Amino acid sequence: MTTYIIRRLIQALVVLILVTLIVFFVMRLLPGDPVLIYVAQTAEFEAMPPETLDRLRAEFGLDKHIMVQYANWVAGIFRGDFGTSIFYREDVGTLMLERFPITIHLGFLAVIIGAVFGALAGMLTAVRRGKWLDKTVTPLTYGGLTIPVFLLGILLIYAFGVKLGWLPISGYTSPLDDFWLSTRQVIMPVFCLAVFGLAANARQMRSSMLEVTRQDYIRTAWAKGLGERVVVMRHMLKNSLIPVITLMGVGVSIILGGSVLVERVFAIPGVGSLFVSSIFGQDYVVVQAITLVFAVIILMVNLIVDISYAWLDPRIRYG
Protein backbone atom coordinates (compact mmCIF):
# COMPACT_ATOMS: atom_id res chain seq x y z
CA MET A 1 0.00 0.00 0.00
CA THR A 2 2.68 2.49 1.02
CA THR A 3 4.86 1.61 -1.95
CA TYR A 4 1.86 1.97 -4.20
CA ILE A 5 1.05 5.41 -2.85
CA ILE A 6 4.66 6.54 -2.96
CA ARG A 7 4.94 5.39 -6.56
CA ARG A 8 1.80 7.30 -7.45
CA LEU A 9 3.07 10.41 -5.68
CA ILE A 10 6.34 10.34 -7.59
CA GLN A 11 4.48 9.86 -10.84
CA ALA A 12 2.19 12.75 -10.02
CA LEU A 13 5.21 14.93 -9.26
CA VAL A 14 6.77 14.09 -12.63
CA VAL A 15 3.50 14.89 -14.37
CA LEU A 16 3.22 18.14 -12.41
CA ILE A 17 6.65 19.22 -13.61
CA LEU A 18 5.68 18.36 -17.18
CA VAL A 19 2.46 20.33 -16.81
CA THR A 20 4.35 23.44 -15.69
CA LEU A 21 6.83 22.98 -18.53
CA ILE A 22 4.01 22.76 -21.06
CA VAL A 23 2.31 25.86 -19.73
CA PHE A 24 5.53 27.83 -19.53
CA PHE A 25 6.86 26.94 -22.95
CA VAL A 26 3.59 27.25 -24.81
CA MET A 27 3.46 30.81 -23.51
CA ARG A 28 6.97 31.32 -24.81
CA LEU A 29 5.72 30.40 -28.26
CA LEU A 30 4.09 33.80 -28.38
CA PRO A 31 5.89 35.88 -30.90
CA GLY A 32 7.95 38.85 -29.88
CA ASP A 33 9.65 39.80 -26.74
CA PRO A 34 7.87 38.57 -23.61
CA VAL A 35 8.47 41.87 -21.99
CA LEU A 36 6.44 43.51 -24.70
CA ILE A 37 3.59 41.22 -23.86
CA TYR A 38 3.89 42.12 -20.21
CA VAL A 39 4.03 45.81 -20.80
CA ALA A 40 1.90 46.00 -23.91
CA GLN A 41 -1.27 47.94 -23.25
CA THR A 42 -0.01 48.94 -19.83
CA ALA A 43 1.42 52.16 -21.10
CA GLU A 44 2.35 53.77 -24.30
CA PHE A 45 5.21 51.38 -24.56
CA GLU A 46 5.99 52.47 -28.08
CA ALA A 47 7.10 55.66 -26.59
CA MET A 48 9.27 53.81 -24.13
CA PRO A 49 12.94 54.26 -24.65
CA PRO A 50 14.91 51.03 -25.18
CA GLU A 51 16.67 51.53 -21.85
CA THR A 52 13.35 51.32 -20.06
CA LEU A 53 12.59 48.08 -21.85
CA ASP A 54 15.97 46.72 -20.89
CA ARG A 55 15.38 47.74 -17.33
CA LEU A 56 12.01 46.00 -17.43
CA ARG A 57 13.60 42.89 -18.94
CA ALA A 58 16.03 42.79 -16.08
CA GLU A 59 13.23 43.43 -13.63
CA PHE A 60 11.24 40.50 -15.00
CA GLY A 61 14.37 38.38 -15.15
CA LEU A 62 14.00 38.05 -18.89
CA ASP A 63 17.68 38.63 -19.55
CA LYS A 64 18.51 35.34 -17.86
CA HIS A 65 18.66 31.86 -19.40
CA ILE A 66 15.25 30.43 -20.22
CA MET A 67 15.51 27.61 -17.66
CA VAL A 68 16.35 30.15 -14.99
CA GLN A 69 13.28 32.05 -16.02
CA TYR A 70 11.26 28.86 -15.77
CA ALA A 71 12.63 28.17 -12.32
CA ASN A 72 11.86 31.72 -11.22
CA TRP A 73 8.35 31.41 -12.58
CA VAL A 74 7.71 28.15 -10.73
CA ALA A 75 9.23 29.58 -7.56
CA GLY A 76 6.95 32.57 -7.91
CA ILE A 77 3.92 30.33 -8.17
CA PHE A 78 4.90 28.53 -5.00
CA ARG A 79 4.92 31.90 -3.29
CA GLY A 80 1.49 32.58 -4.74
CA ASP A 81 2.88 35.05 -7.25
CA PHE A 82 1.15 34.39 -10.55
CA GLY A 83 2.09 37.73 -12.07
CA THR A 84 0.02 40.80 -12.78
CA SER A 85 -2.97 41.06 -15.02
CA ILE A 86 -2.58 43.66 -17.73
CA PHE A 87 -6.26 44.22 -18.11
CA TYR A 88 -7.33 44.30 -14.49
CA ARG A 89 -4.02 45.73 -13.27
CA GLU A 90 -4.29 43.41 -10.39
CA ASP A 91 -2.33 40.54 -8.97
CA VAL A 92 -3.47 37.41 -10.83
CA GLY A 93 -3.52 35.38 -7.62
CA THR A 94 -5.92 37.85 -6.01
CA LEU A 95 -7.99 37.95 -9.17
CA MET A 96 -8.34 34.19 -9.22
CA LEU A 97 -9.22 34.12 -5.54
CA GLU A 98 -12.16 36.38 -6.32
CA ARG A 99 -13.39 34.25 -9.18
CA PHE A 100 -12.54 30.72 -8.13
CA PRO A 101 -15.09 30.35 -5.32
CA ILE A 102 -17.86 30.82 -7.88
CA THR A 103 -16.57 28.14 -10.24
CA ILE A 104 -15.81 25.81 -7.34
CA HIS A 105 -19.30 26.34 -5.93
CA LEU A 106 -20.91 25.29 -9.20
CA GLY A 107 -18.36 22.65 -10.08
CA PHE A 108 -18.40 20.99 -6.68
CA LEU A 109 -22.19 20.70 -6.68
CA ALA A 110 -22.05 19.31 -10.20
CA VAL A 111 -19.45 16.70 -9.28
CA ILE A 112 -21.41 15.55 -6.25
CA ILE A 113 -24.73 15.43 -8.08
CA GLY A 114 -23.18 13.67 -11.05
CA ALA A 115 -21.47 11.09 -8.89
CA VAL A 116 -24.24 10.34 -6.39
CA PHE A 117 -27.26 10.44 -8.64
CA GLY A 118 -25.42 9.02 -11.62
CA ALA A 119 -24.18 6.01 -9.69
CA LEU A 120 -27.59 5.58 -8.07
CA ALA A 121 -29.35 5.68 -11.42
CA GLY A 122 -26.87 3.19 -12.83
CA MET A 123 -27.38 0.89 -9.89
CA LEU A 124 -31.17 0.98 -10.09
CA THR A 125 -31.28 0.51 -13.84
CA ALA A 126 -28.94 -2.45 -13.57
CA VAL A 127 -30.87 -4.12 -10.77
CA ARG A 128 -34.18 -3.51 -12.53
CA ARG A 129 -32.79 -4.23 -15.95
CA GLY A 130 -35.36 -4.17 -18.73
CA LYS A 131 -38.03 -2.64 -16.50
CA TRP A 132 -39.60 0.77 -17.16
CA LEU A 133 -36.99 2.69 -15.16
CA ASP A 134 -34.20 1.17 -17.21
CA LYS A 135 -36.07 1.74 -20.42
CA THR A 136 -36.56 5.45 -19.72
CA VAL A 137 -33.31 6.37 -18.00
CA THR A 138 -30.79 4.45 -20.08
CA PRO A 139 -31.66 6.04 -23.44
CA LEU A 140 -31.58 9.45 -21.74
CA THR A 141 -27.99 8.86 -20.70
CA TYR A 142 -27.03 8.75 -24.35
CA GLY A 143 -28.42 12.23 -24.79
CA GLY A 144 -26.59 13.37 -21.69
CA LEU A 145 -23.26 12.32 -23.12
CA THR A 146 -23.71 14.04 -26.43
CA ILE A 147 -25.71 17.21 -25.93
CA PRO A 148 -23.54 20.33 -26.12
CA VAL A 149 -23.69 22.01 -22.70
CA PHE A 150 -24.25 25.43 -24.19
CA LEU A 151 -27.26 24.18 -26.13
CA LEU A 152 -28.63 22.54 -23.00
CA GLY A 153 -28.10 25.79 -21.11
CA ILE A 154 -29.93 27.84 -23.69
CA LEU A 155 -32.76 25.32 -23.85
CA LEU A 156 -33.15 25.46 -20.07
CA ILE A 157 -33.10 29.24 -20.08
CA TYR A 158 -35.68 29.25 -22.85
CA ALA A 159 -37.97 26.81 -21.06
CA PHE A 160 -37.62 27.61 -17.37
CA GLY A 161 -36.46 31.19 -17.58
CA VAL A 162 -38.28 32.74 -20.49
CA LYS A 163 -41.36 30.61 -21.09
CA LEU A 164 -42.20 29.42 -17.58
CA GLY A 165 -40.44 32.18 -15.70
CA TRP A 166 -39.54 29.89 -12.81
CA LEU A 167 -35.85 30.58 -12.58
CA PRO A 168 -33.60 33.58 -13.12
CA ILE A 169 -31.91 33.33 -16.48
CA SER A 170 -28.49 34.58 -15.60
CA GLY A 171 -26.13 35.96 -13.01
CA TYR A 172 -24.62 34.72 -9.82
CA THR A 173 -25.13 35.61 -6.19
CA SER A 174 -23.04 34.23 -3.38
CA PRO A 175 -25.01 31.88 -1.15
CA LEU A 176 -23.62 33.84 1.78
CA ASP A 177 -25.37 36.98 0.60
CA ASP A 178 -28.72 35.59 -0.43
CA PHE A 179 -29.02 31.85 -0.14
CA TRP A 180 -32.42 31.51 -1.78
CA LEU A 181 -31.60 33.64 -4.80
CA SER A 182 -28.23 31.98 -5.11
CA THR A 183 -29.79 28.53 -5.13
CA ARG A 184 -32.33 29.52 -7.75
CA GLN A 185 -29.58 30.97 -9.88
CA VAL A 186 -27.32 27.95 -9.74
CA ILE A 187 -29.92 25.26 -10.45
CA MET A 188 -29.68 25.47 -14.22
CA PRO A 189 -25.92 25.98 -14.58
CA VAL A 190 -25.19 23.21 -12.11
CA PHE A 191 -27.51 20.86 -13.95
CA CYS A 192 -25.74 21.71 -17.22
CA LEU A 193 -22.37 20.94 -15.69
CA ALA A 194 -23.61 17.80 -13.98
CA VAL A 195 -25.34 16.28 -16.95
CA PHE A 196 -22.27 14.67 -18.48
CA GLY A 197 -21.23 13.17 -15.17
CA LEU A 198 -24.76 11.97 -14.49
CA ALA A 199 -24.93 10.22 -17.83
CA ALA A 200 -21.40 8.86 -17.81
CA ASN A 201 -21.62 7.57 -14.24
CA ALA A 202 -25.02 6.04 -14.82
CA ARG A 203 -23.79 4.18 -17.88
CA GLN A 204 -20.58 3.05 -16.29
CA MET A 205 -22.28 2.01 -13.09
CA ARG A 206 -24.96 0.13 -14.98
CA SER A 207 -22.53 -1.80 -17.12
CA SER A 208 -20.18 -2.57 -14.28
CA MET A 209 -23.07 -3.70 -12.10
CA LEU A 210 -24.23 -5.98 -14.89
CA GLU A 211 -20.70 -7.24 -15.26
CA VAL A 212 -20.45 -7.95 -11.54
CA THR A 213 -23.86 -9.65 -11.55
CA ARG A 214 -22.40 -12.34 -13.77
CA GLN A 215 -19.46 -13.01 -11.49
CA ASP A 216 -19.16 -16.32 -9.69
CA TYR A 217 -18.93 -14.69 -6.28
CA ILE A 218 -22.37 -13.15 -6.74
CA ARG A 219 -23.75 -16.61 -7.39
CA THR A 220 -22.00 -17.65 -4.19
CA ALA A 221 -23.69 -14.80 -2.36
CA TRP A 222 -27.11 -15.86 -3.60
CA ALA A 223 -26.31 -19.46 -2.71
CA LYS A 224 -25.72 -18.37 0.88
CA GLY A 225 -29.35 -17.33 1.11
CA LEU A 226 -28.65 -13.61 1.34
CA GLY A 227 -31.42 -11.21 0.39
CA GLU A 228 -31.28 -8.95 -2.62
CA ARG A 229 -30.39 -5.87 -0.63
CA VAL A 230 -27.40 -7.52 1.00
CA VAL A 231 -26.24 -9.03 -2.26
CA VAL A 232 -26.43 -5.68 -4.02
CA MET A 233 -25.14 -3.38 -1.30
CA ARG A 234 -22.52 -5.61 0.22
CA HIS A 235 -21.34 -7.86 -2.56
CA MET A 236 -21.89 -5.84 -5.69
CA LEU A 237 -21.55 -2.18 -4.84
CA LYS A 238 -17.89 -1.98 -3.92
CA ASN A 239 -16.80 -4.06 -6.89
CA SER A 240 -18.92 -2.03 -9.26
CA LEU A 241 -17.67 1.29 -7.94
CA ILE A 242 -14.08 0.64 -8.95
CA PRO A 243 -14.57 1.41 -12.66
CA VAL A 244 -16.90 4.28 -11.80
CA ILE A 245 -14.28 5.95 -9.64
CA THR A 246 -11.95 5.93 -12.63
CA LEU A 247 -14.33 8.33 -14.32
CA MET A 248 -13.96 10.94 -11.57
CA GLY A 249 -10.85 12.46 -13.14
CA VAL A 250 -12.48 12.68 -16.55
CA GLY A 251 -15.66 14.01 -14.97
CA VAL A 252 -13.89 16.85 -13.17
CA SER A 253 -12.00 17.63 -16.35
CA ILE A 254 -15.23 17.84 -18.34
CA ILE A 255 -16.84 20.02 -15.67
CA LEU A 256 -13.92 22.45 -15.56
CA GLY A 257 -13.86 22.59 -19.36
CA GLY A 258 -17.62 22.98 -19.46
CA SER A 259 -17.56 25.80 -16.91
CA VAL A 260 -16.00 28.01 -19.58
CA LEU A 261 -19.09 27.54 -21.74
CA VAL A 262 -21.70 27.42 -19.02
CA GLU A 263 -20.43 30.58 -17.34
CA ARG A 264 -20.66 32.32 -20.66
CA VAL A 265 -24.23 31.19 -21.30
CA PHE A 266 -25.44 32.16 -17.84
CA ALA A 267 -23.24 35.24 -17.53
CA ILE A 268 -21.59 33.95 -14.39
CA PRO A 269 -18.43 35.79 -13.35
CA GLY A 270 -16.36 32.70 -12.53
CA VAL A 271 -12.90 31.62 -13.62
CA GLY A 272 -14.29 30.28 -16.87
CA SER A 273 -15.50 33.65 -18.04
CA LEU A 274 -12.31 35.27 -16.74
CA PHE A 275 -10.40 32.80 -18.89
CA VAL A 276 -12.36 33.61 -22.03
CA SER A 277 -12.24 37.34 -21.56
CA SER A 278 -8.51 37.13 -20.89
CA ILE A 279 -7.96 35.25 -24.12
CA PHE A 280 -9.72 37.94 -26.06
CA GLY A 281 -8.05 40.67 -24.06
CA GLN A 282 -4.68 39.01 -24.70
CA ASP A 283 -4.16 38.99 -20.97
CA TYR A 284 -1.79 36.07 -21.25
CA VAL A 285 -0.60 36.05 -17.68
CA VAL A 286 -4.14 35.30 -16.55
CA VAL A 287 -4.62 32.65 -19.25
CA GLN A 288 -1.41 30.97 -18.17
CA ALA A 289 -2.30 31.01 -14.49
CA ILE A 290 -5.81 29.60 -14.95
CA THR A 291 -4.62 26.87 -17.30
CA LEU A 292 -2.06 25.83 -14.74
CA VAL A 293 -4.45 25.84 -11.81
CA PHE A 294 -7.06 23.81 -13.71
CA ALA A 295 -4.47 21.24 -14.71
CA VAL A 296 -3.22 20.96 -11.15
CA ILE A 297 -6.76 20.44 -9.86
CA ILE A 298 -7.27 17.60 -12.31
CA LEU A 299 -3.91 16.13 -11.43
CA MET A 300 -4.88 16.14 -7.76
CA VAL A 301 -8.24 14.53 -8.46
CA ASN A 302 -6.54 11.79 -10.44
CA LEU A 303 -4.13 11.21 -7.60
CA ILE A 304 -6.97 10.94 -5.11
CA VAL A 305 -8.75 8.53 -7.45
CA ASP A 306 -5.67 6.33 -7.69
CA ILE A 307 -5.29 6.25 -3.95
CA SER A 308 -8.95 5.50 -3.37
CA TYR A 309 -8.58 2.43 -5.57
CA ALA A 310 -6.34 1.02 -2.95
CA TRP A 311 -9.05 1.57 -0.40
CA LEU A 312 -11.67 -0.13 -2.56
CA ASP A 313 -9.63 -2.97 -3.95
CA PRO A 314 -7.53 -5.05 -1.58
CA ARG A 315 -5.73 -6.60 -4.51
CA ILE A 316 -4.07 -3.24 -5.08
CA ARG A 317 -3.69 -2.48 -1.40
CA TYR A 318 -1.60 -5.56 -0.84
CA GLY A 319 -0.22 -5.78 -4.36
Residues 242-281 that bind other proteins (CB under 8 A): 243, 253-254, 256-258, 260-261, 264-265, 275-276, 279-280
Closest by CA position to 99, among listed 236, 270, 262, 232: 270
Q: Should residue 285 be labelled a site residue for other proteins when binding is judged by CB under 8 A?
A: no
d(CA 248, CA 245): 5
* Residue with Cβ nearer other proteins (18 or 58): 18
Draw the binding track, 21-40, toward other proteins (x: CB under 8 A; -: no contact). Answer: xxx--xx-xxx---------
| Nearer to other proteins (CB atom), residue 59 or residue 148 | 148
Does the CA dihedral 44-45-46-51 come out positive or negative?
positive
The amino acid sitting at 280 is F
- Stretch 55-94 residues interacting with other proteins (CB under 8 A): none
- The answer to whether 235 contacts other proteins (rule: CB under 8 A) is yes
Q: Give how many residues touch other proteins by CB under 8 A.
A: 79
Query: Of these, 2, 49, 146, 176, which contacts other proteins (CB under 8 A)?
Result: 146
**Residue ranges in 104-133 that form contacts with other proteins under rule CB under 8 A:** none
Closest among 265, 266, 117 to 186, alpha carbons compared: 266
302 touches other proteins (CB under 8 A): yes
56 or 289: CB nearest other proteins: 289
Smallest gap from residue 51 Cβ to other proteins (A): 27
Binding status of residue 147 toward other proteins by CB under 8 A: yes
Nearest in space to 93 (alpha carbons), one of 103, 101, 85, 102: 85
Q: Which span sits near other proteins by CB under 8 A: 53-61, 73-81, 100-108, 237-245? A: 237-245
Taking CB under 8 A as the binding criterion, the range among 66-74, 96-104, 119-127, 224-232 that sits at the site for other proteins is 224-232
Using the 8-state DSSP alphabet, how is residue 84 labeled?
Answer: B
Which contacts (CB < 8 Å, 24+ apart) does range 228-236 have? Answer: 228/127, 232/123, 232/127, 236/209, 236/212
Between 172 and 196, CB nearer to other proteins: 196
Q: How far is CA 141 from CA 117, 173, 206, 249, in A?
A: 12, 31, 11, 19
Dist CA 60 CA 53 (whole Å): 10
Q: Give 192's contacts (C-beta < 8 A, 6+ positions apart).
A: 149, 152, 153, 156, 258, 262, 265
Applying CB under 8 A, among 74, 296, 304, 307 the residue interacting with other proteins is: 296
Which of the residues 155 through 194 are near other proteins (CB under 8 A)?
155, 157-158, 162-163
Does the footprint of other proteins cover residue 234 (CB under 8 A)? yes
